Amino acid sequence: MTKRIEDLKVIENKRLNNDFFVLELAGDIKIPEFKPGQFAQVKVEGSSDTFLRRPISIHDVDYSKNTFKLLIQVAGKGTKKLSELKSGDSLNLIYPLGNSFSLPSDGEQVLLVGGGCGIAPLLYMGRYLKSKGFMPDILLGFRNSSRIIEFDEYLKIGKVFVTTEDGSMGEKGYVTGHSVFSERQYSRIYCCGPDNMMKTIGAYCKKKNIFCEVSLENLMACGIGACLCCVVDTVKGNLCTCIDGPVFNVNDLKW
């Protein structure tokens, strides 16, 4: 897929809570057909110490409006600066980047598991799966009920399960301990979130022989395979998370 460097217009910057916001973006030309799991390298303007672009997943796409969305967690200076964007502002992106989640075969039982900003690529993945006739289950982890975001959007895709660390909604604890793993059968699990979460889900899938893909959030600089700062150790040798990933089969990762 051809990569673009493009100035997009911010249609809306919707604040979800203290930590998260959603940028809706539109371009002058037709947006590309995104594959689920792809990301953009976002330029942070107006800040001398955020020279490098920040990798952000494609969160949602509306081809009828020619817009797409990024769900962003304020983590540091770059994302803080992005959180200050207003409707009408311009944002420069290199996109679409990276590989994508693979599609299940007919009849497969699918679970999407996300925690933190890792829930971002799973909305578009879920919509994509639904458009292909699948009805995935979705398991999302949050710190507490006041931090739950985009719940209604995920509900449009499939059955949604939630964990909160304090038990204020859904099951108490982490996604890795949710009862779906003992009560429901899956042949495929797609996962994005903190490393420890993905490693635990990956180990579970290996043990149960379940197909599992994870989307890694390694630190990145160039995003196009030039700087090698995102290298990950795999059974196929060292691979770049930005061009060979961010999506990897857990069996390929030397975890």
Ligand X SMILES: Cc1cc2nc3c(=O)[nH]c(=O)nc-3n(C[C@H](O)[C@H](O)[C@H](O)COP(=O)(O)OP(=O)(O)OC[C@H]3O[C@@H](n4cnc5c(N)ncnc54)[C@H](O)[C@@H]3O)c2cc1C
What does the binding site for ligand FES look like in residue numbers (CB under 6 A)? 220-223, 225-230, 240, 242
Counting contacts by CB under 6 A, is residue 219 touching ligand X?
A: yes
Min dist CB 247 to ligand FES, Å, is 14
Considering only CA atoms, give the Rg of the chain: 18
Coil, helix or strand for 17?
Answer: coil
Give the integer Cα–Cα distance in Å for 54 and 222. 9
**CA angle, corner 45, sides to 43 and 50, nearest 5?**
70
Q: Does 79 bind ligand X (CB under 6 A)?
A: yes
In terms of CB distance, is 53 or 178 closer to ligand X? Answer: 53
Interacting partner of 79 out of ligand X, ligand FES, none (Cβ under 5 to 8 A depending on kind): ligand X
Query: Smallest distance from the beta carbon of 135 to ligand X, in angstroms?
Result: 24
Binding-site member from 75, 135, 226, 235 for ligand X (CB under 6 A) = 75
Instruction: Give me the least distance between CB of 254 and ligand X, in Å please.
Output: 18
Assess contact for 187 and 194: CB atoms under 8 A.
no
Burial letters for 41-79: b for 16+ Cβ neighbours within 10 Å, e otherwise? bbbbeeeeebebbbbbbbbbbeeeeebbbbbbbbeeebb
**Amino acid making up residue 14:** K
Nearest distance from C-beta of residue 182 to ligand X, angstroms? 30
Could you give the C-alpha distances from 38 to 45, 153, 162, 179, 247, in angstroms and in order? Answer: 22, 19, 25, 30, 9
Place of tokens 């009849």: 107
Where in 89-148 is the site for ligand X (CB under 6 A)? 117, 120
* Integer Cα distance of 100 and 213 in angstroms: 10
Helix %, strand %, coil % of the chain (to 5): 20, 35, 45
CB of 13 to ligand X, least distance (A): 14
Three-state DSSP at 241 gives coil
In the complex, least distance from residue 39 CB atom to ligand FES, rounded to whole angstroms: 11
Member of 160, 217, 248, 250 binding ligand X (CB under 6 A): 217
Q: Which does 61 bind (CB under 5 to 8 A by kind): ligand FES, ligand X, none?
A: none
Of the listed pieces 28-36, 69-77, 163-171, 178-186, which binds ligand X according to CB under 6 A?
Answer: 69-77
Both tokens assigned to 223:
């995003």
Q: Which does 29 bind (CB under 5 to 8 A by kind): ligand X, ligand FES, none?
A: none
Q: Could you list the residues that contact ligand X (CB under 6 A)?
A: 39, 50, 54-57, 71-73, 75-79, 117, 120, 217-220, 246
